[in-house]
Amino acid sequence: MIAAITAERDPAPADFAVLWPVHTRWADHDTYSHVNNATYYEYFDTAVNGWLIAATGVDIRSLDAIGVVAETACRYVHEIWFPDELRVGISVERLGQRSIAYSLAIFRQLPSADRQLAAIGRFVHVYVDAHSRRPVPIPAPVRAAVSTLVRSPSSITTGP
């Protein structure tokens, strides 16, 4: 079950190891004058991969193993618009040998300096060989960086 999405209370910014900045773009709006639902997934993807590049000091696209998204989920809480400043909360709910399950949330930065929850999500990256696309262990620099985002030691497993 998706822990962050089904929790008894909505997550707060303090529940996440990282709050990664992302800004809405003019092109994110749909015909209903709000940010399109599919764009929330782009914010999750941008935040996770931007953070990975910054935290590892490596261009993750150049590694022999790449993280492909095997599962996603999102629960929408509040609409967002352009121009909104966002923070994407990132934590790890499970760190396996070949996969990482991220807990995510999008928060709107309000003028009062508070943050309003806009969405709760989940991403699972499975690491595969960049050429054969066969599952492989998580690259060492990625594992080292991501281990700092793990909620509890029991979240680290020996399985995929």
Q: How many domains does the chain have?
A: 1
Is there a domain that residue 77 lies in? yes
Return the DSSP state at 137. P
Structural domain of 46? 15-134+144-154
24-71 residue pLDDT tens: 999 998 888 889 999 999 999 999 999 999 999 999 999 999 999 999
- Tokens at 21, concatenated: 């900045």
| pLDDT category of residue 20 using cuts at 50, 70 and 90 | very high
Which residue has tokens 């690491």?
Answer: 127
**Whole-number Å distance between alpha carbons of 14 and 59:** 28
CA-closest candidate to residue 91, choices 101, 74, 103, 105: 103
| pTM of the entire predicted model | 0.88
Task: Decide which of 152 and 91 is more confident.
Answer: 91
The CATH number that applies at residue 70 is 3.10.129.10
CA-closest candidate to residue 151, choices 103, 117, 115, 107: 103
Is there a domain that residue 1 lies in? no
